[in-house]
Each structure stands twice: as structure tokens, then as C-alpha cells.
Chains A and B, each alone.
Chain A
């Protein structure tokens, strides 16, 4: 069992948990992920490591409530435990030798992009961040990004905070302003990463994306998380989750991500019906 030491709400649907998991904390690096089961009947879900403290033996996760499992996870409070918490899994993001980098985060993907931005900043790289959200109520980690970046652009779809527009608009503006990047690192919804890659391809800038396919074991034993990268089959859990964005078949990944959409909708509604009334009582 893995104890929840802290829990904070970042916006109405996104929360942060600090979890006691000394062994995971010991080996964690930016870009790696964990798999957890909230309770003994639960499913296994992957979440990226948002932060870690080796001395305290803690790992921070940030999750958005999108379905039954994240909702069940969110019902747990400080002092309670998640049933299983395994990791760190995957390969760390490769940051060596990068001098000037644009880090692009979309929605809850910003939680995953932040440790990367922080690490680059610590390594002395010039970091330009572009973080995008649907509206001002959903903005998270703005101050943390500002602290880790030389330039931090906030955009919202409706213009209710920062500039109005998409992350691709802000990124293109930075490029057109004459900024030259060794690499763009994009983390967020598949559609966002796809369009960031389309943009950077045009400008010939190497782009790394963090893929988020459906996973079960996370150790390479099932291939449920397989992707096509450069025409080859890759397992995101062991070969990634980072890949060269210009080689990823995003349309295939988007389709595969929808495989259980109906089941998930049903599970979420059933869960709401079971517990929803209790929440309001």
C-alpha cells in the first residue's frame, strides 16, 4: 500500500497527489511514468511522474478526472492509500546537450511537461514554454512554468487567460520572432501533439512527443500500447513514452485510443450513479 501524503486541487478537474513510494522516488527521472491501481478491484492506469523527492521518498502525480478510475482515485484523501503503485517505468526524456528548447504543454499534459522544463532549466538550457488550456478555470502550474522558463506563453482557446489561440499559434509566433530551437518537446492531447509536429516539420525543428496510449502492465509483456513509429511497431511502455514526433503515426494512435470509449463512458456513468448521491449528501 502506498500512502497519500498530500492532495491539492489545481483546478476543478485536476488534482495533485504526493505519494509515499521510496523505491520509485529513488529511480524516478523526468519523462518516466508509474502505473497505479487505486483499489483492489481497480484497473491499472498509467500516469506520468510530475515530480519526486528522493530524500522524502515521495512521488507526485497529477491527474485529470476523465473517467471512473480517476474519479475513484480522487475520492481517496490524505492518509489513505492507493493499492498498487509501480515504477518508474519507461525511458527518461533525453535532455543532454540541449541548449535552447521550446516546451509545449496542453491541458493536464502541462503537469508532465513541467518536470522536463524544470530539469532543462537546472541544466542551464534556455527554456521557452508554451502552455495551453481551454479556458482560465483550467489553467494549472502557471507560476511553476514561469519560474522554470526564460519565456512563458500562456494561451487559452477562448482568450479568458493569456493570449487567445492554440499552442501552435503561440509556438509559431515564437519561431517567426526569430527564436531558434534545438528541439521542441510537446506533451498533451494526441491532436495537439499531432499539430505541433505538423508545424515544426514545416520549420525543420526536431520534435519529441510523449505518447499516452492505453496500457495494462507497462513492462512490455502485452503490446497493448503499440504504436507505429517510422513504419515500425514500438511499445510505448518500454521503447518510449518519448518518440520522434515526426515519425509517429498519430491518426492510428488517436483511433486506438478510442478503442474502449463506450465501455469507459458506461463505467463512468455507473460510477457516478453509485456514488454521485453520496457526494452531494
Chain B
């Protein structure tokens, strides 16, 4: 049996660097079955322990082996509401696949690719209404329709709750629609997953900003017995350097929202975005990779990633870094921005940078970047994108009594996801600060289980 994964067909790097179509093309049935055959069907299921939502991985892979793809989908659905999304964007190398026994002597089973195959097969072949769990008569409100909220809503709907998801934007999906680009996660996939939730009874109220349009207290007045806050970490950090207000400086959130949510990559879009010829992206996470690859696809001649540590410390997924390099993104490591320089019309003309060297490890355990005196240089650029992290949006904290937050803004919860206010739960980036899609989903799902327990306990006491 092969020691390596069945390769995933991908678009040619030259071609894909010019379009927004999905890069990875997905397995054929034949490839999926061949990959499924690599699974040893371990009794101990170490892979399952590596999955933040605990999908019974060997069980669904066994069904692929015999061609029961719908059965495989049902197995995944017991644990995950967003299989087509997770199969694409999870960092499997640090989760399920890192625990796979086959990885000890070769490559692990391509669990993510198989999950994606099963979900895509389901979405292509599904017919009629999904099975709805009969209502248990209890209502729960979910604030935010990102991965945490969707996962919480899906889990609660499966337990018979009447769930309403409140979303501030005009499209549901959170970071899945405004952040992660089309070429990594096609928006029709997200829309399909939202439709799946709707067919299972979840209601969506868009254009509703909790903390402005409605307050958390009013949700209780409206008969919701519990509230889950999955409002994410959407507040962008800026570089706090001179010249940041020049025309052509974007937060990654703004750039990606224009490109992804508002579809500014299309020539006929009503929303503008500045298409830079020379683009500098500051940061080294997945968001920085997404922004850099979008900038390239918008027609930039050069896109340079500026990161203050070395390549070994890049927080982005290895696969994303490789994809970015294949497409032509240039990596300028051990470099920090010092000032954005502008022309007489206040347009960006360059990013002044300083070379760094690595010193002693800091609190995060990574070696601290130390500036090298006299090493300043100018990087020519007409667009600069700051992708240096986000913090939780303070809107809900500022408008809701009794919800305590950390100094840096994260909502404080106990091990059950309960906040300091009775029957208000929270999870995902709103609690942890910017993290991953699947961790948010895991938090949403866990909170749903504890909300279920809490509501049942309240009614048992009566």
C-alpha cells in the first residue's frame, strides 16, 4: 500500500494566479476510494481524538470504501455541521492527520480531502428536505454566523431547539464569506452549508447588529432561553506607524471584505478596491497569505510578504505558504515596517522597512526579532496591507451588562463556555482571540451541549 497520500489535483500555479477559481480541485471517486483503502480502521481511533469536533473518522472512511457516500456524510454530520468547509480549511496536519498511525511510517491518510469529497458528493446529490429534529419547544439565540455560531446552531437544531442566528452583515458565514478567499473556499460551498442548516430548521436574521439593532437583554425578553455569542475577533490591529492613513493602506479585513464579500475582484463589481501594481503585505499568518494571493490575482506585478521573524516561524499553514510561493508571492523575512511613505497626492509610494535579527525566545517561546540599526531600506509599493492580527469586537461587551472580558477584549468563559452572565455562552475567536475555523466550530459545538444541559436542568427544577 502506498506510503504517500493520493495527490490532490490542483490548478496550474501560472493559470490560477490570475483567477479566483478554487485552487484544489478535489478527489474523483476513484481517488477517494484508493485513499480510503489506506485507512487501517484502528480500533483506538487516534485520529478522532485529534479532531476538535470528534468526527468518527474510521467509520466514515469505511463507508467510502464500499461506495456509501451518503452514509459517510451522515457519520460526519453527527459531529460537524460544516464538512465541506472543514475538509478545505482545517489545518489537518496539526489535528486529525497528525495522530494518524500511518503517518508514523509515511504520510497519514488524507482525512481532510476525504471529508471534502464526501461533503461535495452530498451537496451534489442531495434531494429534498433534510431530516428535521422535532422541536422541543425551547428557543436559543446565536449571535454571529461564523464557524462558531453555525456549529452551535447546527448542534442545537439537531437536539430539537428552535435556533435563530443573528448576523450583522448581509450574508451569513462570517470569516468564511468575508475573509477566506473564493480560491480556497468557494462561496457557493458556504451558501450550501447555510442552506443545509436552514433545511434543518435554523432561522437566519441578517442585517441585525446585536449591540445596535437589538441588545442581548432583548433576546431574553423575546423568549430565547439562552444566548450563544460567536461574534468573532473582527477588530483589525494596525501597525501604529507613520503614514498609515495614506491612500492605499488597508487592513487585511478591509481588503479581504472588499474582495471576497463585495466581490471587488469582478470587473463589474459596484464595490471598488485599489488594484496595486506593487503590493506589500505585512504579517505571516493565513490572513497574510490570503491577502497576498488575492492581490496577485487582482493583477499585481509583484506581491511581497514582509515578516519580522524567519520563515521557520511563519504562523500560516505550510500548504498556504507553498501555494503562495508557487504563485509568485515574494517572501522578505526578518523585516519589519517602519513607515509608509507617500507621494504629493497622499498615495502610498513605498514601505520603509528595517532588517531584523532573531534574539532570545520571548513569552510566546519564539525567538524575539531585534532590529538591526542602520539597516533601513525602501520597498516600492502602491498598496500596503496590514495583516498583523485582529482583536474581539467590543460592541457586545460595551452594550451588555454582566459579561466580563479579559484586558485584551476576549470574553471570559468557564470550561463549559458559560460567560459571567447566566445563560449567556460564548465561543470561538470572541473568547480566544483570532484562532482557527475548526477551533471555533469545536467551541460552538461544546457550548451547544452545555446550553442543552443548562436549559434541561432549569426546566427539571420547575
Contacts and interface: CB of A to CB of B under 8 A. Distances in A.
Q: Do A and B come from one complex?
A: yes
Interface of A: 23-24, 27, 37, 41-44, 68-69, 83-89, 216-217, 219-224, 226, 228, 233, 238, 252, 255-256, 258-260, 263-264, 267
B262 interface: yes
Contacts of B169: 217
9 contacts: A89-B209, A89-B212, A216-B258, A221-B235, A223-B236, A224-B251, A233-B245, A259-B248, A260-B272
Contact of B262 (A44, A68, A219): A44
B94 interface: no
Contact of A86 (B213, B345, B346, B393): B213
Contacts, number: 102
A169 B450 CA distance: 65
Interface in B202-258: 206-209, 212-214, 234-236, 238, 244-245, 247-248, 250-251, 253-254, 257-258
B297 interface: no
Given A89-B209, A220-B393, A221-B236, 11 more contacts: A43-B262, A43-B270, A44-B262, A87-B213, A89-B212, A219-B168, A222-B254, A226-B238, A233-B245, A255-B346, A258-B247
B251 A222 contact: yes
B238 A223 contact: yes
Nearest to B251: A223
Interface string B323-340: 000000000000000000
B395 interface: yes
Contact of B254 (A27, A88, A216): A216
Contacts of B268: 41
A271 to B, nearest CB: 9
B102 interface: no
B270 A267 contact: yes
A21 to B, nearest CB: 9
Most buried by B among A220, A221, A228: A221
A37 B269 CA distance: 13
A264 B212 CA distance: 30
A144 B29 CA distance: 70
Interface string B260-273: 00100000111110
Contact of B247 (A88, A216, A221, A255): A255
Most buried by B among A223, A228, A256, A258: A223
Given A43-B262, A86-B209, A259-B247, A221 B234 contact: yes
B277 interface: no
B245 A228 contact: yes
A245 B311 CA distance: 46
B393 A219 contact: yes
Given A44-B262, A223-B238, A226-B245, A23 B208 contact: yes
Interface residues of B, number: 36
Contacts of B254: 216, 222-224
A60 to B, nearest CB: 17
A37 B231 CA distance: 22
B253 A223 contact: yes
A259 B276 CA distance: 13
Contacts of A256: 245, 247, 346
A42 B270 contact: yes
A252 B243 CA distance: 11
Contact of A222 (B207, B257, B269, B274): B257
Contacts of B234: 219-221
A224 B395 CA distance: 17
B125 interface: no
B170 interface: yes
Contacts of B269: 41, 43
B213 A217 contact: no
Contact of A84 (B206, B257, B271, B274): B206
A252 to B, nearest CB: 5
Nearest to A39: B270
Contacts of A68: 270
Nearest to A264: B272
A44 B245 CA distance: 22
Interchain residue pairs A-B with the least CB separation, the first 7? A222-B254, A221-B234, A263-B272, A86-B207, A43-B270, A84-B170, A43-B271
Most buried by A among B170, B270, B274: B270
Contacts of B236: 221-223
Contact of B253 (A27, A84, A85, A221): A221
Contacts of B270: 41-43, 68-69, 267
Contacts of A42: 270
Contacts of A221: 234-236, 253, 257, 393
Nearest to B264: A43
A86 B192 CA distance: 24
B170 A86 contact: yes
B170 A37 contact: yes
Given A217-B169, A223-B254, A88 B213 contact: yes
Nearest to A86: B207
Contacts of B238: 223, 226, 233
Contacts of B274: 259-260
Contacts of B250: 224
Contacts of B208: 23, 86
Contacts of B213: 23-24, 27, 86-88
